[in-house]
Chain A
Amino acid sequence: MARVMIVDDSVMMRSMIAAILGADPELDVVERAGNGCEALDKLRASDCDIVLLDIEMPLMGGLEALKHLRLISHAKVIVVSSSAQAGSHTALEARREGAFAVISKPSGTVSLDLRDKRGHEILEACRRAAGLAGAA
């Protein structure tokens, strides 16, 4: 079971992403953080296998957190951000700083239907990062 941390400044987004991951018994959301600083503090206390990281956050944003994070944690980082479309500067920058994958935020997930593309993508990326077989 992979230990997952969700880092996003929106409580609602954290809940939503956690609900998406909750569908997979092999992913365990053990920590949540509202900004980069908090994420780093929590990782120091107990390391995670996967960190889902937002880019735009107060105090310390995702890109900055990424740099700090890899000094202390073995976690694979999946950037989940609405400012990271295909080929965008942010997406490339995140990968350059060592992000395992960059995906867009879930949108229109009112139904929380996991066949929803973004939700599926998040699950897929987490499973790849955890070295698990692809999701059904």
Chain B
Amino acid sequence: MAVDIYQSLWQEFALESGEHLDRLEPMLVAIEADPPAGGVDTSLVATLFRGMHSIKGMAAALSLRGMERVSHHAEHLLGQVRDGRCALDAPMAGLLLEAVDELKRLRTLSVRDRADVPASDAVMARLETARGRLEGLKERVSVEPGLASGIEAALTVARAARPVHPDHAALRRYVESVRPHLPELARMVGGVLEDPATRASVRRALETVREGARALDFPQVARTAEALAALIPAEGCLDYYAREQAIDGLAALRREMATLEAATGIDGGGKGLDEALNMALALDFSARRRALLEVLSRHDREPAAFGTGGAGAIRAAELAGDIYNHFSFLYHAHAGRLLLMIEDVLGHAARGDLVLTPVLIGLVRQTLAALAPAPGKPLRDLDAARAAEVLAAFEPAVREAEALAGPAAFGEDSESAVAGRQYLAELGVIPDLLDRLSDHQLGEAADRVAGGELRLWQIDAALEDAEDKAERFADWLESHGRALTSRATPGGGALSFQFLVLTAEDDRAVRAAMAAIDPEGRMLSARRFGAPEVAESVPVCDPAPARPPAALEIAPPAASPDSATGTVLRVPGEVVDHFLAVIGEMVMVGSLLDEAVWGEDQRSRLPQDLRRLVKEMRALGGADPGHLDQLARIAAAQDQRNLTLRKARERLTATLGRLQEAALELRVVPVATVFARLPRLARDLAASQGKQVRVEVDGRGVRIDKGMVDQLLDPLIHMVRNAIDHGIESPARRLAAGKPAVASLSIRAGQRDNRVVIEVTDDGRGLDADAIRRRAVEGGLIGDADSRLLGDAELFRLILVPGFSTAGTVTETSGRGVGMDVVHTSVHRLGGSIEIRSEAGQGATFTLRLPLSAAIQDVLLVDVDGRRHAIPVRHLLELTRARAGQSQIVHGQAVMLLHGALLPVFRLTRLLDGSSGPLPEGELPIVVLGDGRRRLGLQVDRVVRRQELFVRDIHPRVAAIPGVGGAALLGDGTVVLIIDGGDLFQLAEARAGAVVALSGPVPELVA
């Protein structure tokens, strides 16, 4: 079991991390090439961040430290972008692309070996440098202090995604309707419930809440109100337990209402309820606070109870959580936050994540003291500054306590800690401060300071009587550096501290900041460890890995996983293929059944025969009437059976059709997945030629068969390459021609009927019809006189002919041609067609028309010389037979007269293997094929049936054999070759060109 899970986790990791990386890359490429002027769209940033975040989480889960480190840093950078602390500009996108490339490399190796692979030092160094520099940057202009957290930013995006309720007007009415009632509910715990009028009004209030919630389909809100109503006794007040439950219930209800108030922006009476409860619950709060302090006092006597799994820590965390839960509805944001911090710290202590140091216990006590209400007064929230101060004090204490508990996430070993300590001591850090650093901190600080990435400062701060300065100093610390540790200054006042600070700021900036906070210089003094530095300007990112300056633009993939709300199953491709093969077999069995049911065989004639027999026997006389009646009944029963069979067969046909359609759906993927790789290709190509191009891809949600993905990619790459190589001019030429310097290349998909249409359009110089004509004549593809009869569209088609591109060295002025025959072949293999439109100087459009599914082909199965072949019906004109006297020899080629025109006839196998010989004698079936211009007849031994076949990928060597278009698996497991009709015409023409050319236009006939 465990082994299976292990196996599947790795598989899922490989799949999922690959998907994320494939999605991140094109987005970053687009941003790098052409950073949007107004900043990158926030939802795109959120997507990038989440992708990186997911990769990090997955890597961490499998202990892939190398990938974890790279993605961690990249995520951090994206987090800074998301929070508005820095811009996602071209260098940043380039750096992130480098991270993506490195992650791809690590992923491949890790998946192969199922082991961690260390990240490249160079990449890590660049990421860390960028991160360190960012941490030193002061710009936080675009972020309001309250919004500093990325969570809010993410929420703003998320909020737009879904309203709390679809009917906003109804929601507003509800919130308004409960406003007068909500404060009433405080009476449940306020001790005046004995008055019947009060009880009635509380009941009414709860009923209003409940009914409205039911109507809006908020079942949990309704349940909360119901539970509260159930607590109200027939007479008198709530007893102790009921009162406790009521407090919890009110807390829940208050929180639920807060969500609705926030969603509508309307006061729903929440504030009124808070006011009433602040008074009613002051005593309850005090009692609980005392209980928590009581438990904490045990820490001095038995510290073990506050270690991992310690009862004291668990109880204390529970109490803190209880206090929070009970009083959260009061919405004392600052006090609540501190309570949660206490709960969180104690909870982590109980889980062994941190060691409850005396410093932390002291902070917890201090915090609780600050929360105590004055006797006889309502509960009041802490002021923001005081709360921030306390929270800020927790931060370093928690990190220290965590460090004491064990190695940090990226587990530095103790060796680096020893070396680190030595290094820092040499810099002059006093032992008293060094003693307070964890192994992890020692190693990290030494590394980053030695690497010149961060600087280490000791800042002495005497902050007594200067609350505003203390706050500004704390702010500066939080935003511009990191306090590794601190201690009370020996001999200083109660609020004098020494801080050990890591920062990316240079000397001047730190001193300026200190001077700004404390102009007189009486309270703050700072010294940096290490050699004096030269002033420098700090770029955000290392410009070293310069990327080509191609200008690109890309729309995010239309059908990204983000937009799919349904459940996604992952099934290996072979399973689906097998599934389809079996369905194919069922379709075949279905047609056998058809024959049995509809065919004029003995069974279906049986009832008539029987009835006739009975009639004749009656006429003859002498037979036992009982026997004859029995026979008549058998005939009737047989009729009935045939009828049932037919109905079943009809339903089976319909069901099979639906099944096949559904199964084909399993194989489709967004065409955007094919497009995704093109912008980067275009960018690299254009940059290498000093051209500029804006690439636009739009899949428009069109989905194609998975089997087409690889076959489609090749021609698309060729067309993009071709457009950039030959179509798009240099910026200078474009400007000279009055066009914008940046060219545009668009690749769009659309769906018309059951065909996919893909258009590749550029605004380059277009195709030069005359140059193509000359090239074709020189290459001997066409006679000079003939060539002058062709229109532009026909001339353009010549570039698709295999001989064209090899006709000579293609020069700048020769127009298009390189590899376009590959495009033609691939598209043709897929059962598609190409159309070329171009206007000289204005650009060109290549339009591909492809079947939605290349995987299923409608074929005619034939047997020739003991082998079965499949002929795609799209070339099929009709089936006939060569009768004696109809066939003759013209120019050494067998022909027959069909519909008044000559039809060359070939033995299918001979055409394929190139052998020759007379056609076998006898009246054999002839399959007539046409390609719109020519016709040919194929002699076969037997026509088996028409069927839909599921085409499988075949070995390229087999696919390269002329005449072979693919292979398919029949339901019984035998392999059958699928004939390429287009190839057959070429083979036939090579064999008997003149005769085939003479075969004339195709008569209007339907197969």
Contacts and interface: CB of A to CB of B under 8 A. Distances in A.
Contacts of B457: none
B344 A92 contact: yes
A121 interface: yes
A117 B352 contact: yes
Contacts of A106: 61
B54 A56 contact: yes
4 residue pairs, one from A and one from B, having the closest CB atoms:
A12-B12, A108-B63, A58-B562, A107-B60
Given A12-B12, A59-B562, A107-B61, A37 B162 contact: yes
Contacts of B321: 95
B254 to A, nearest CB: 11
A92 B50 contact: no
Given A15-B9, A58-B561, A70-B255, A86 B344 contact: yes
A47 B922 CA distance: 75
B687 interface: no
Interface string B1-34: 0100110110011011000000000000000000
20 contacts: A10-B54, A11-B12, A11-B568, A12-B61, A15-B8, A16-B9, A19-B9, A37-B161, A37-B162, A40-B162, A63-B158, A70-B220, A71-B259, A72-B220, A74-B223, A87-B398, A90-B151, A92-B337, A98-B328, A101-B347
Interface in A54-86: 55-61, 63-64, 67-68, 70-74, 82-83, 86
B324 A95 contact: yes
A46 to B, nearest CB: 12
Contacts of A110: 6, 62-63
B154 A61 contact: yes
A91 B255 CA distance: 17
B221 A89 contact: no
Contacts of B56: 82
Contacts of B352: 117
A86 B398 contact: yes
Contacts, number: 170
B149 A10 contact: no
B12 A15 contact: yes
Interface string B211-248: 00100011111010000000000000000000000000
Nearest to A84: B344
Contacts of B565: 35, 37-38, 41, 59
Contact of B57 (A73, A90, A105, A121): A105
Contacts of A56: 49-50, 53-54, 154
Nearest to B72: A82
B354 interface: yes
B348 to A, nearest CB: 4
Contact of B345 (A10, A16, A87): A87
A120 B336 CA distance: 28
Given A82-B57, A82-B60, A87-B345, A10 B5 contact: no
A21 interface: no
B155 interface: yes
Interface string A26-41: 0000001011111011
Given A63-B151, A63-B155, A86-B345, A15 B47 contact: no
Interface string B555-583: 00000011101011010000000000000
A112 B151 contact: no
Given A11-B16, A102-B344, A110-B63, A57 B50 contact: yes
Contact of A10 (B16, B337, B570): B16
A73 B220 CA distance: 5
Given A72-B220, A73-B220, A87 B341 contact: yes
A10 B352 CA distance: 28
Nearest to A18: B5
A56 B158 CA distance: 11
Most B CB within 10 A of own CB, among A13, A64, A71, A121: A71
B57 A11 contact: no
A9 interface: yes
A24 interface: no
Nearest to A19: B5
Interface of B: 2, 5-6, 8-9, 12-13, 15-16, 47, 49-50, 53-54, 56-58, 60-63, 149, 151, 154-155, 158-159, 161-162, 164, 213, 217-221, 223, 252, 255-256, 259-260, 262, 321, 324, 328, 336-337, 340-341, 343-345, 347-348, 351-354, 394-395, 398, 402, 409, 561-563, 565, 567-568, 570
Interface of A: 9-13, 15-16, 19, 32, 34-38, 40-41, 44, 47, 55-61, 63-64, 67-68, 70-74, 82-83, 86-87, 89-93, 95-98, 101-102, 105-110, 112, 117, 121
B218 A112 contact: no
Contacts of B256: 70-71
Contact of B340 (A36, A41, A92): A92
Contacts of B58: 10, 12-13
B404 to A, nearest CB: 13
A112 B63 contact: no
A10 B57 contact: yes
B16 A86 contact: no
A68 B61 contact: no
A96 B328 contact: yes
A93 B60 contact: no
B433 to A, nearest CB: 22
Contacts of B341: 87, 92
Contact of B353 (A68, A86, A107): A86
B162 A68 contact: yes
A36 B8 CA distance: 25
A55 B13 CA distance: 19
A101 to B, nearest CB: 8
Contacts of B6: 110, 112
A34 B60 contact: no
Given A67-B259, A87-B398, A108-B63, A58 B47 contact: yes
Given A11-B570, A16-B9, A70-B259, 5 more contacts: A10-B58, A19-B9, A74-B223, A107-B60, A107-B63
A108 B345 CA distance: 23
A86 B50 contact: no
Nearest to A107: B60
A41 B161 CA distance: 14
A84 B927 CA distance: 71
Given A10-B16, A70-B252, A60 B344 contact: no
A68 B259 contact: yes
A72 B454 CA distance: 49
Nearest to B49: A56
B316 to A, nearest CB: 15
Contacts of A64: 155, 158-159, 161
Contacts of B354: 86
Contacts of A112: 2, 5-6
B50 A9 contact: yes
A9 B404 CA distance: 33
Nearest to B223: A74
A98 to B, nearest CB: 6
Nearest to B60: A107
A95 B402 CA distance: 21
Contacts of A108: 60-63
Contacts of A35: 565
A12 B347 CA distance: 28
Nearest to A128: B318
Given A13-B61, A71-B218, A92-B344, A98 B255 contact: yes
A36 B568 CA distance: 15
Nearest to A81: B57
B145 to A, nearest CB: 13
A13 B8 CA distance: 11
Contacts of B164: 67-68, 71
Contacts of B161: 37, 59-60, 64
B57 A74 contact: no
Contacts of B351: 117, 121
A87 B394 contact: yes
A102 B15 CA distance: 28
